[in-house]
Structure formats: C-alpha cells, structure tokens
A and B are shown apart, each in its own frame.
Chain A
C-alpha cells in the first residue's frame, strides 16, 4: 500500500524546505527534498564594489552569516593579492568571530531547533520546585495557550518526567547562552547578526586587554555550559532514543574544505587549519585529500535553465520556476560523480581519519559509552553527537587563540581594489563546506559564486537520478505513524539545514575562474 507524506513547511530549520516521502508498507521508498525560496544575491552583486561582498553575503543567512563573511574575506584577500599579508591578530580575530558563532549555532540547533522532537514540554505542568524557568513554563502551561509548543506530533515522547523537566530548563537556559555567544562575538565583531569587523585584509576592530578579558570570561562560561549541560543532554537523549543510532544513515560519503586558519599561507590549499580538510567514505573510513576540480553541479531537477554538470566556476544560469520535472531551487552538487554529506559529522570523520588526537579521544569516548561500533556515527544521533563534540573542541581552542592576541599590533593589512582579480575562499561554516568565488573586472564585481553546505545536503536528484544526502537518509526509513512522522523530521533536522544558504546562488555568466589542486 502506497502513501504520500508531504511536510511543507519543515519548521525548526533555517529557511523554506518541503519534504515529500512516498511510503510503501510503512517504509519510505522515495523522498524529495525541495528548497522553496530564491532571491538571486549573486545577480545583485554583479557590478558592485568588491568590498560590498562580505556585507551582502552575510545576508544570505542570519543564522550563519559569519561563515559567509569568512569565506568572502578569503576570496577577497586572494583577489586583492593580500592573502599572505593578514596580520596574526586579524587571522585570530576572524577565528574568534567565527568560533563564537559556531558555539551559538550549535547550541541553538540542539535546543531550539531539535529538542522539541524529543522533549515533552507539558511534563512541566505538575512541577513543584523553585526553579525560576520551570515555574515560568508552568504558569505558561496553566494559562492553556501553549503556542508555539503545540500543536505538535504526538505519540513518541520517551523521556521520563524528570528528564523532560531538566531538558526544558536547559532549553530556557540555552536561550541565554546562545545570546551570550553573540555578545562575545560582538566584542570583536561589532554587531550580530551580520558582523561588521571582517574586511579584506583582516578585521577593523583593535585588540586591547579589556576586550581579551571580557571575551575570555564569556567563553569560560560557555565552555562550562557545553561540558556540563549541552554534551550530557545529547548523551541523555541518545540513551533513551538509541534506535536513532541506526536511523538516517544517508549517502555515506563525507567532505570537508577545512576552516579556522592556524596560519596565513597565501595558498589556501596549504594552510594549516583547525578543522581539517578532506573526504572520507563510510565504507572504508580512509582519508582522501580533497580535489575541488572534481565538483560539478547538476540542474536537471532544479528550477534553472542552464547546462548541467558544470564546475561551479563556469556557466550561466537563469531561473525558471516553471521548468518541468524540476522540484527544487537547490542545485545538485556532486563530488567525483557522487552526492556527499557535509557538516560536523563530515569534519569529525575526516579529522578522526587524519589521526587528530582530541577528535579521536572524544569520538571513542562516546562510542564506548554506548558500546557502539563506528557505524553508529552514520546516523541521526551520530550527527548530533559530532556537533556537540565539535562545539566543545572549537570553544576550548578559542581560549588558546584569544591569549595569542597582541594588544596594539595591527589587525588589518592594507589593500587597494585592483582593476581585475580572481579569488576563491574555501571554509567550513557550522553546517559544512562553503566555497565563495569572486571575479573582479574594471574595479567591480564581474561574477560572484557560492556553493554552500545545505546545497550539498539538501540537494535534489542529479542528472543520473542519484538522490541527495537528505533524500537518501529518508529513503528506507520505517515510519510508524504516518500522521506523526517523527522519524522523517528527526532525520532532516539532524542535518541542521539552512535553506536561505542553499539557494541564494546561481552560477554567473562568465569564464572559468581558475582551478586549484588541494593536497
């Protein structure tokens, strides 16, 4: 017997996503992931001042603007010919700004985007203690107007009353923590969302001891929360919902461009990066170096008129919202002809395979806690665990970077806008691999291009009909109750989709922008 489930809109993600799943005898046979918004930021950037790029591309997404600012900064550094001149203070502050938003984004994702799939807020109704947040929630429940926590899917909330209440208290506390992460970012970034300090050459803000001290103690507070609340909550939920270590595996191929620079080697491909670059397959768990020439984008099932299968640096595209057979504004990026998953899990697996000690230790600890084999990582819970581990490792590293700052020393290299230039920025945002490409002619932007993490993850089918990572993660899933398809939304949310990012872009008119080989 065949049933179709349509979930439009998917809530608690960023942007506009529609999921369609066709079930046969209760199991997903075919899934379609559709991005439902198009704005065309690259078209808008054409003809503008190159310095506008970092300010504009942040408005691709208000949850992860810092990733776009970072990738754009790198592309501009290269195009302006100053990639090797970034002063250490500038490089470090860029990492601190981006790192702060990793902390904000990951906390927001687990508590405010994910938790309501697993936690029953109404368990607070009978609370009798003195916790201020819980009493606020209790009064709220008692008035009977429970939006936005209901309506909701029903029938699969498994946590005990105590765990539910603890989770709700932490959900509320996490609202404070993510706000604090933005305040911390603002010390150097000036304004959040949409930081103002990142510019070509470094950052505009200066270093002083009071800023370092202010940042340090905000960071310590957040590290305490990550270690003592966020990570234990992920493990507690995983224990009760442990079947989700075997649900939502996906395509089994993982990719990372690397990010958070530890030096300013002008060749981006040779930079030492905290988040490591590479690809890895679930089938053999062996690290392979990344070769960006192997990326192409198909558009057969996307609402664009364009030759399909082009490298991101070439081609022309026009939007056609009425194109037959197409079902998404998201294109289908493929690496070496296959769909690849990006994000915290991809980064964690690449670093694990590259023998990074703290990643190996954290992952092994989690696996032995659950007495689980490595393949448990390729799952809904594997993604949540990887995200939490990464949040901790980034926060811990930031404390060290912060203390390397030198008050009074430059934070920004000088530049002049060249008459022409080309640049590429490869980066890892919280949601995964991010690439920006710029071409400058007559002192203005001739072309701008970005291929973003959720384009990879939420991609539709490619020209060969291979489904994208989210589609593959959904296919083969057993759905117990088609009116309350918890399984489907839990799988989708584990990817932390950001659709404004996935779709903003189209390939520009123009010539090939140059290739590079990554080791």
Chain B
C-alpha cells in the first residue's frame, strides 16, 4: 500500500498556525493554541444494512447546523464528530474502508455506532453482506454484534433499526430484527437510543447527538420505546393544525378535502412526534399539511397490519369534550367597567 500523500498532523498544525496568524482576530496570544488543544474527537461508525439510505439522506438535510458544519466543524464547541465509516459519503472503498472501520473500533468504548436499517437473521444473515474477511463475506448481523459490543453507545437510526420497520413487516422474508432485539438475543448490554422515523427528521438526530455531546448519554431522557422525549414526547393529534376539524366533527371522506384526516386512516391519535410544530424540510410543509394522513412512521407498529390506511381507536383520555366553549373566568370588556 503506497504511503498516504497528505501531511502529518504536525505539519498541518504548523501550516494552519502560520496561516491563521494572518487573520487579525486570531492574533490574540495563546488563543489559537487553546482552540486547537480544546477539540475532542468523537469517532463515529455508521453502518447501513437492510436499509434504503433514506436516513442518511434525511440527516444530510439538516439546516442548522448544516451537514458540513456537523462533519467538518465543532458541532458543539470543543467537540468534533469524526465520521470514520459511512458507505454513502466516505472516500475509501473495499478493504481500505474496512480497515478504517476496524481501526475506529479497536478501542472498546472508543466510538459511537450509528446503526441504520434492519438486521436480517434468516440463513445466518446471508441476505446482507458488507465487506469480506479471508474471502468470506461479513454479514450485517456480524457487524452489529462486533461493533455493538464494543461501542460506547448505539444510536438506532430510523424505524427499521429501532423496531424492524418495513423489511420486518409480515411475513418478514429475511427474518429482520431491530438493534434491541439482536442485543437481547446476544446478551449485548451497550446502551441504545432509538431515533425512530421513516426516515427520522434530521433535527431529531442532530439534536440528540448534541445532547449527548453536551451532557453525556444520561442527558437524553427517553420514553418506554427508547425514543428521546424531547422529540417523541408529544402526541401528533394534540398539536395538529386540523384538530379543530376533528373537534367539530368535520372529516375528509376523500383526498383533497381540507378536513380532519382521521376517517382516511390518520395515525395522529397514536403517533408520538413533534412534526406538527417542527414540520419537514426546513419548516416547508409536512405530511398532514400536504393533505395526506399521518402513517405513524415513528411507532413500533409501523407499517401496521394489512393497511396503512386503517382507522385507529382513540383512547378515552384523548377523547374531546363536547364542542362548546369551556367555562372561563375572564369577563368581557364593557364601557361600564371602570379602568
């Protein structure tokens, strides 16, 4: 293997120190040295198995920070995410890529694993192979077991990795399982955070990563399904812009009608995500906003049995009171009220 042609770390530091002094703000004595000393590298390995790459595409849609800021800059001052392995964007292919993965995974607890896609287990997982060792393919399942055991934490990214998702839907032809299911089967105790969604909103991922970098893993409070409460703690139905129609009993009977989409199968009443407030693609629009029912893509039940368009039951606690004004204390202003 020929030597890498880029400069050594020392040479780069020399170079950058020289060029940085040309910029006046950074001539403050000791500032540059302090800046460089302060950056901690956080190695990340991102594997994709039974996936569609939608999670990668969604994450690179992050607006603030941009993906270039996430990958190149200190996403939180003093911390840089070093993406050691990701098949969609990395320069290396083949053995070179596998070596980069192995090197990043050398130190136990020394990296974060992002797992995207479901993990096929039927026929020893032969339905997904990435890279080879001694001429034999390495299955996605083997990667998860090896990397998952050694990671400091795992982010299961996307509903496939969190709960099985579409590849695991009946009849689950390749025996697909979620990260947590594989870890339970194999007795792997590495903490897992589930960032669900098909795909997840980029903010849910970047926001969770930022929380971990600032406050550690324990700073991420999760629900019963391991999903960060910051993003998955509210019911879609409670914040939907069409809730007024639901409360007044106005239901769309077909696509294009502007009313509540409940009778067309909207999963809003059983879906926990902040889409109504956050909206999608830089607040441009969202599923219900464009007139299509929510399909509950963050929930373990996704893609639901037999149809995405089945009407879901609403729990008693979520049922709306009669459509009258609630009793209010405030008195209406009138000319006779003295100021």
A residues near B (Cβ < 8 Å) are 6-12, 14-16, 18, 36-41, 43-44, 47-49, 51-52, 55-56, 59-63, 65, 112-113, 116, 122, 125-128, 133, 136-155, 172, 175-176, 178-179, 182-183, 185-194, 196-197, 199, 201, 203-206, 319, 321-322, 329, 410-412, 414, 444, 481, 483-484, 489, 500
Contacts and interface: CB of A to CB of B under 8 A. Distances in A.
Given A16-B128, A39-B173, A59-B166, A410 B256 contact: yes
12 contacts: A8-B137, A11-B87, A12-B90, A14-B88, A40-B167, A143-B80, A151-B99, A186-B284, A188-B285, A192-B281, A205-B291, A206-B256
Contact of B171 (A44, A52, A176, A179): A44
Contacts of A40: 167, 173-174
Contacts of B311: none
A446 to B, nearest CB: 14
Contacts of B39: 143
A138 B281 contact: no
B25 to A, nearest CB: 12
Interface in B38-67: 39, 41, 43, 49-58, 60-61, 63, 66-67
B41 A44 contact: no
B281 A144 contact: no
A321 B290 contact: no
Contacts of B96: 151-153
A61 B52 contact: yes
Interface in B115-131: 120, 123, 126-131
B318 to A, nearest CB: 23
Contacts of B8: 144
Contacts of A484: 2
B287 interface: yes
Contacts of A113: 88
B298 to A, nearest CB: 13
B57 A197 contact: no
A143 B79 CA distance: 12
B63 A179 contact: yes
A39 B127 contact: yes
B82 A12 contact: no
B308 interface: yes
A489 B94 CA distance: 10
B82 A322 contact: no
A193 B307 contact: no
Given A62-B199, A190-B285, 12 more contacts: A37-B129, A51-B308, A51-B309, A55-B295, A60-B52, A147-B90, A151-B100, A153-B96, A186-B280, A193-B199, A196-B292, A204-B292
B132 A148 contact: no
Interface in B287-310: 287, 289-292, 295, 303, 306-309
Contacts of B336: none
A154 B4 contact: yes
Contacts of A322: 123, 126
Contacts of B91: 11-12, 116, 148-153
Contact of B22 (A128, A141, A329): A128
B286 to A, nearest CB: 6
B88 to A, nearest CB: 7
Contacts of A48: 306-307
A182 B281 contact: yes
A8 B126 contact: no
B281 A191 contact: yes
Contacts of A183: 281-282, 284
A112 B12 CA distance: 25
A44 B58 CA distance: 24
B15 interface: yes
Contact of B286 (A6, A37, A116, A191): A191
A434 B225 CA distance: 38
Interface string B258-274: 10000000000000000
A43 B176 CA distance: 14
A182 B286 CA distance: 12
Contacts of A7: 93-94
B80 to A, nearest CB: 7
B36 A11 contact: no
B72 A63 contact: no
A62 B54 contact: yes
A146 B6 contact: yes
Nearest to A152: B91
Contact of A500 (B51, B86, B292, B309): B51
Nearest to A14: B53
B289 to A, nearest CB: 6
A491 to B, nearest CB: 13
A37 B141 CA distance: 12
A150 B86 CA distance: 12
A128 to B, nearest CB: 6
Which 4 pairs of residues, A with B, have the shortest CB-CB distance?
A62-B54, A190-B290, A142-B16, A144-B9
B254 interface: yes
Nearest to B275: A191
Interface string B1-30: 111111111001101100100100000000
B216 to A, nearest CB: 21
B6 A52 contact: no
Nearest to B124: A321
B193 interface: no
B1 A483 contact: yes
Contacts of A196: 287, 290, 292, 295
B166 A148 contact: no
Contacts of A191: 280-281, 285-287, 290
Given A138-B16, A140-B73, A500-B52, A190 B289 contact: yes
A47 B306 contact: yes
A126 B132 contact: no
Contacts of B97: 9, 11, 151
B287 A11 contact: no
B93 A9 contact: yes
A187 B289 CA distance: 10
B283 to A, nearest CB: 9
A9 B138 CA distance: 10
B156 interface: no
Contacts of B198: 59, 194
B6 A193 contact: no
A412 B53 contact: no
A192 B280 contact: yes
B129 A16 contact: yes
A321 B126 contact: yes
B291 A112 contact: no
B128 A38 contact: yes
A190 B280 contact: yes
A441 B42 CA distance: 53
A98 to B, nearest CB: 15
Contacts of A49: 306-309
B237 interface: no
